[in-house]
Amino acid sequence: MAKFDQYFLMKPEDVIEYVKTQFDIFAPDADLECKEIGDGNLNYVFRVWDPGSGASLIVKQSGDTARISDEFKVSIDRNRIEAEALMLEGKLAPGLVPKVYKYDPVMNCTVMDDLSDHQIMRTALIKHEKFPLFADHITTFMVNTLLLTSDVVMDHKEKKELARRFGSPDLCEITEDLVYTEPFNDYKGRNLVFPPNLEWVKREIYGDQELLFEVSKLKFDFMTKAQALIHGDLHTGSIFIKPDSTKVIDPEFAYYGPMGYDIGNVVANLMFAWANADATIEDEAQRADYIDWLETTIVDVIDLFRAKFLKAWDEHATEVLARTAGFKEWYLETVMEDTAGVAGLELCRRILGIAQVKDITSIADPDKRVRAERVCLTTAKEFIKDRRRFQTGADFVAPFKRALAQFPRQ
């Protein structure tokens, strides 16, 4: 039996042997190097390169437990979901995802483009870098991958078959627990609340029954609303970026769910960057300039999505009743409502839950971190409880600005 005919979790030396036997990208006598570069919560990511030619690849392999915690047993089939999602997204939104060279169902790994000339967007935002094309790129990606995989455009039978292929019960359960449930009650005792904020969180989050009621509605929407093929984890850690290029990665949580799940994740993670900049940029003029770019970017993400969505609807809708007067506008209103709700969920779960973000945890001054967290959580409550009010980009940035005023800088 050949070495790679049966699954095992590879180490760097195995990955080198694997790519040499599976691909002809590298010269037979190339002295390859390999390094594990992933720092995510689930998978093992390796970069393989030839120092002589400069050729390189990424190999991403799934294990049967999440790296974030052995408590999460997850199907290694998620690698298939990710590979197929990337290939479909590549057709729907060309140039906005890495190219997939191979999915190996035996080794449960995907081989794809090396994006080392890009950087993870979260890292770049923490360094307070700007990306003027991001809003245009990400809204094209979201409109094309969401609307074009919905019943508005797809043949209904084909859409139902696609929905059957995507969605891991294990990964959906992780989302249901970590996004929709645990941040609001800590019923499993896994939350990681910043100690100086614990009593405030108990009162303002765990003790807010109106909030819990609205979160319950959102959770059941996620479990039952098979609207479009969502990326399922579209935060700034799942985006590689440089000034002229945006690449969306890691769609292993791809699932037929509410469109607003992806849009809300993007909005919330830009707000984490806003909170970080507000807390860490000392120079007042530099802080104001960077925050102005972030605010404009959030506004553009919403408003460009709306404009492109309505245009794509007119160009691609095939469902007869989808062309009923007023229907597309009503539909978009519901997408924006879901977007606000999910933005609120993401703002909560990344501060209170087990999967936190460096935008917040890297704020060294405890008082500034307390303020940043309360600004985000107060914004989240408004998004979740009053989500029907949020339709335009200006609507979405307003509660964050109100929260900043509510908790003035000391």
Helix spans in 317-392 (H): 327-352, 358-361, 366-385
Q: What is the model's pLDDT at position 67? A: 58
pTM for this prediction: 0.94
Q: In a 3-state reduction of DSSP, which class is residue 191?
A: coil
For the chain, give every residue range classified as CATH 3.30.200.20. Answer: 3-112
Query: Residue 178 to residues 68, 221, 237, 268: CA-CA distances in angstroms?
Result: 12, 16, 17, 16
Tokens 């102005």 belong to which residue? 292
Q: Which of 139, 102, 114 is nearest to 297 (CA)?
A: 139
First to last CA, the chain: 67
For 72-94, what is each residue's pLDDT tens digit?
567 777 889 999 999 999 999 99
With 0-12 / 13-18 / 19 or more C-beta atoms within 10 angstroms meaning exposed / middle / buried, residue 410 is exposed
With 0-12 / 13-18 / 19 or more C-beta atoms within 10 angstroms meaning exposed / middle / buried, residue 207 is exposed
Query: Residue 156 to residues 142, 162, 167, 183: CA-CA distances in angstroms?
Result: 20, 10, 18, 36
Phi-psi region of 105 (alpha: psi -120 to 50; beta: other; left: phi over 0): alpha
From the options 2.40.30.10, 1.10.760.10, 3.40.50.300, 3.30.200.20, give the CATH code of 3-112.
Answer: 3.30.200.20
For the chain, give every residue range classified as CATH 3.90.1200.10. Answer: 119-406
Q: Which of 82, 254, 252 is nearest to 163 (CA)?
A: 254
Q: Which residues of the chain have pLDDT under 50?
A: 1
| C-alpha span between 408 and 375 (Å, rounded) | 10
Per CATH, the homologous superfamily of domain 119-406 is Aminoglycoside phosphotransferase (APH), C-terminal lobe (3.90.1200.10)
